[in-house]
Structure 1
């Protein structure tokens, strides 16, 4: 999803349009004869009070301006017909379908699967497997052949040893013999996971089938999950302008300072290139095994056993690190993890079990006859053309014969006939026509139950209706903003250039310095460095003189810096020469200013990104003012006073 799209939907979430209103609900204001009710405004205001970052918007009058602008945009979107666009209708239908799924799962089955999932993520299983590959849609002959082959391989593995058989048979095409290492819940397809967790350590599982084919699993070990770690780190990356140190050299210098007893957090604040964690002394948010995208970092972090343990410097795909263990804990309690596990269960193969339970629930809710209707007519009209994808309904097909009823909706032969016609795709496995038609009917029934529920869920479930309305308005707002504002950089090039010409004072580089910063925990050391710099000694020679292989006394950082650079003391004057010694970031620093770069006007190309953003904000403000003139907005002041009175109580 595009960032702008996400932000638009977030706005739509913050300012939600709920259609259902009570008869006694006050009208707060009217936009071109479309009423907006006080209950909606109060609900939205209260819902988003803690989410609004701009304190001024917590003022009811200011929030009303924002809310009114939102309603004007929606009115304009409908006026321009965005709600009739095929792409809009398609996107809304897809979202409605996805949203409905979260409202239609069987709670009891889901809870049981969530509890099982928690038990499994609490452990890691180490296993190897052998797979005989066979497609899900394979015919009975190929399926039986694959099954017999895996049975034979299991017998061999029991006699000859699993590992020797695994290595021998692996060909990477039809037979796979693989080492899987450790894994826990949700790392494998559900059937595979179940077989692995249900097999004792040292045993070989019975053959089982997944969508990939038939497997046997050799379970080598089971252990408690490694749980969660909280660490701090110092990270160095190749930094443009730093000609003094390479990260692999500088990280070793920092490590020696740690070994000398200097504070880890202070060093992280001074030198770590991770901008998000450096101000916090390098501290990262807690993470669990498999959560990070860097296995090197994760393995080091989980290898630290005791609080305050510190790793040696190591390299990951992101740079060089030193890691300090702050805290470790096992898997969180079940209740804390339950919401996250529910989401995972609904996205996993486990969902098939939930779907089966849903069918049972919907059949009861809509009073659907469990007995399969007489399908002999459909069996009689089937022929081999179906498997050639050329089958058609007969010209005298009994379109209007009733087939089944779901709730208030009657389904006819034509509905199942259309389902059969559309089903002539993919790989079709030949079987007897009676079994084939029954299987197709069961699939038709499941699909029809879900569709009927989706069609009626908006009227059966108020929460679903509210969320759907939020998304519906969000899509309209996205299309409107994209066409009216966001594409300005593509269509308004002349106006953007003119905007830059009229606002050049906003696009100026601040005063900067080309400097070398020396940092040490000892003021005495920096006094020595200051004298050496005054004598014109090169930085490398100063480092060799002051530092040693066993002890790092000073670390240098060089480059172009602004006044807010973390390496610089706030009060340092920008003038050529060597500064006094400052106490900064729990250490001492000395700055040699080589050159002062004066305030510089940026060219249009240099500042184009910011110019476009500012121009879009300018254009949107003018556009909103135009909408206020185009559409008549009538506010009921008495209703607003009642709203303020209610919100202030």
Structure 2
């Protein structure tokens, strides 16, 4: 057995240059591998084809930087906001995070049914007001235990200061963390002690706890209550006819393809994407779906705000395993109010990691310059205040007096009375130091974390390119009315509407019945007359669809000749179909206004192609073939 050493690109290998700008092979390999599974066009998986796209990308970036788009205030502001948002995923304590994720999973697989009473209270309420509200909700708790929720709700709920609400079943992340804790830690049938959130004081009454319902996959046949132009009869009659055909043994998937108004699922036999409780905007639909017990079960027709439905159960799953859900839970934990726990743990870790120098005499100085104006929120820094002196040193970074002085100025408006000057300085310096520690790590993340650096780099370039494309291509193409009309005149062959039919389509699962329909249509019978004859004794033998239809309409059989008259019988979507064509609407040129959306899109593509050609002429691109060969060897092996 022999082995062949494959050449690996090194960090110094230059794949190509755009004028004097170097593009390294490691970047190309990383981006190629990252996007490999995302591209739909197979040609983009070809390394040479992808290299061409990558060169075009770098040419656009080169132009953007030469035109100083990267110095625009809006660009710098957007990039700064993104870096700050992204950094939240990296500024974390893993141990505490893992514990919170494990807790979140346990709460994801269990749901709580509860109600609550809230008395609103400002976060900066005085101790006196806080005590009054606490005592008030404590009394309401006694009433709730003795009188029951509905009686108390009817008496105290005003929707302004006091809220008494039934919450139904909920699970993790549906409520703020403190509320969630109280609900999950209260036993069934009991009422929690008062607890505080940023909204005020709550009490929670827990009625039930159950396992989460998991995830279902259903098929949907929908008859819209708004799209009535192609229906024969009312939506309720239509869904009843379809349900009768199901009861007669006809195939659910075939009927969905023929008659469902849910365009996203009709072509798939009605099959929808899997969903879990609370995911859809219709509680009625969800309850119907989760109430189906066995694979293949079909519901009776029911109505939602979207229309009439019949659904079929394709699959039913329990909540995913911890390992499968962990990435999603981690994202939610870091966005949730429980992130404060992670933040505190992170600060403790940073205090151990970085060298921090603070002189206690400096804090004594700040304590000495406070006076009673601070309680009045009118305090200012002394006239002889020296803001340039160093207050804190974190590694090599110095934090001057001025930053803490300004911090004290800003937060005095939130200061509660009767807090000593010593506590004001001590408490707020800790907050100030913690903020600076996290900011120091955030500012150095691109040096400390390669993954973060790569993501920021991609966003930096992507944002710059978006700004450039918007200015150079998209906005121009949208506003250049003369150019658009000229482009339309030169490319009219692309803006025709295909032939359409004004037709009646009859569909039946039985060939004998469709032959009867054929004879009756030839006799001039109307759809209503035919239905009266064939759809008898509770049996639906034929369903009609009428209106203007394109060749790709779900009811039109493949191979139908577009001409006036009655067609032969076609086998279509597992049924037999006849089409009576009342008239053929010919292929015709769309007007400029009717085609404007597509014209703008096509014109943008044309402008971009022309612009890229200009960039290739403006900048010199040199590809290092030897390095490219190493790239191909590494990727292909």
State the TM-score, normalized to the length of structure 1: 0.93
Closer/same/farther in 2, CA of residues 338 and 143 from structure 1, 3 Å limit: same
Q: How does 1:447-458 map to 2 (within 5 A)?
A: 447-458=435-446
Partner of 1:282: 270
Question: Aligned residue pairs: how many?
Answer: 628
**Bigger shift: 231-240 or 190-199?**
231-240
**Could you tell me how far 1:263 is from its partner in structure 2?**
1.1
- SS, match of residue 423 in structure 1: helix
Which of residues 407, 416, 419 in structure 2 aligns to 1:419?
A: 407
Counterpart in the other structure of 1:96: 83
| CA 476–538 in structure 1, closer or farther in 2 if over 3 Å, else same | same
- Contact map agreement 1:373 1:403 (CA 8 A) in 2: no
The CA deviation string for residues 340-379 of structure 1, in whole angstroms up to 9 with x for no partner, is 1111111111111111111111111113369977633223
Correspondence for 1:16: none
1:454 to 1:245, Cα distance in 2 relative to 1, 3 A: same
Matches within 5 A, 1:481-560: 481-548=469-536, 550-560=538-548
Distance, in Å, in 2 between the alignment partners of 1:503 and 1:265 is 41
Change over 3 Å in CA distance of 1:305–1:615 after alignment to 2:
same
**Alignment deviations for residues 97-138 of structure 1 (CA, whole Å, 9 cap, x no partner):** 111110111111111111111111211211122222211111
Task: Measure the CA separation in 1 of the matches of 2:11 and 2:193.
Answer: 66
Equivalent-residue separation in structure 1 for 2:265 and 2:102 (angstroms): 35
Deviation larger for 558-567 or 491-500: 558-567
Which residue of 124, 130, 133 corresponds with 1:137? Answer: 124
Which segments of 5 or more consecutive residues in structure 2 lack a partner in the other structure?
1-7
Quote the offset at 1:58 in angstroms: 2.4
User: Mean Cα displacement is larger for which, 92-101 or 400-409?
Assistant: 400-409
| Distance in 2 between residues matched to 1:504 and 1:69, nearest whole Å | 29
**Deviations 1:586-637 (CA, angstroms, capped at 9, x unpaired):** 1111111111111101111111111110010000000000011111222223
Give runs of aligned pairs for residues 205-224 of structure 1, distance below 5 A: 205-224=192-211
CA shift, 1:68, in A, is 0.7
2:23 counterpart residue number: 36
User: 2:169 matched to 1:172?
Assistant: no
Calculate the aligned-residue CA RMSD, in Å: 2.1
Structure 1 residue aligned with 2:143: 156
Q: Residues 409-431 of structure 1: CA distance to partner in whole angstroms, max 9, x if unpaired?
A: 22232221122233355x54334
Distance in 2, matches of 1:555 and 1:384, equals 85
Match of 1:121 among 108, 128, 131: 108
Q: Which residue in the other structure is 2:4 paired with? A: none
- Indicate which of 182, 185, 202 corresponds to 1:195: 182
Counting only pairs closer than 5 Å after superposition, residues 257-406 of structure 1 correspond to structure 2 as 257-368=245-356, 375-386=363-374, 389-406=377-394
In 2, the alpha carbon distance for the partners of 1:32 and 1:140 equals: 68
CA distance in 1, matches of 2:126, 2:417: 7
User: Aligned equivalents of 1:150 and 1:371: distance in 2?
Assistant: 46
Distance in 2 of aligned mates of 1:531 and 1:495: 56
CA contact (8 A) 2:254 2:574 kept: yes
Change (3 A) 1:56 1:394: same
String of CA shifts for 1:160-216, please: whole Å, max 9, x gaps. Answer: 445433432223222222222221111111111111110111111111111111111
Measured at CA, do residues 644 and 120 of structure 1 come closer, stay the same or move farther in structure 2, by a change above 3 Å? closer
Distance 1:477-1:402 versus aligned 2 partners, 3 A rule: same
Residue matched to 2:5? none
Query: Which segment drifts farther, 278-287 or 169-178?
Result: 169-178
Moved more, 632-641 or 119-128: 632-641
Matched residue of 1:604: which SS? coil
1:59 aligns with 2:46: yes
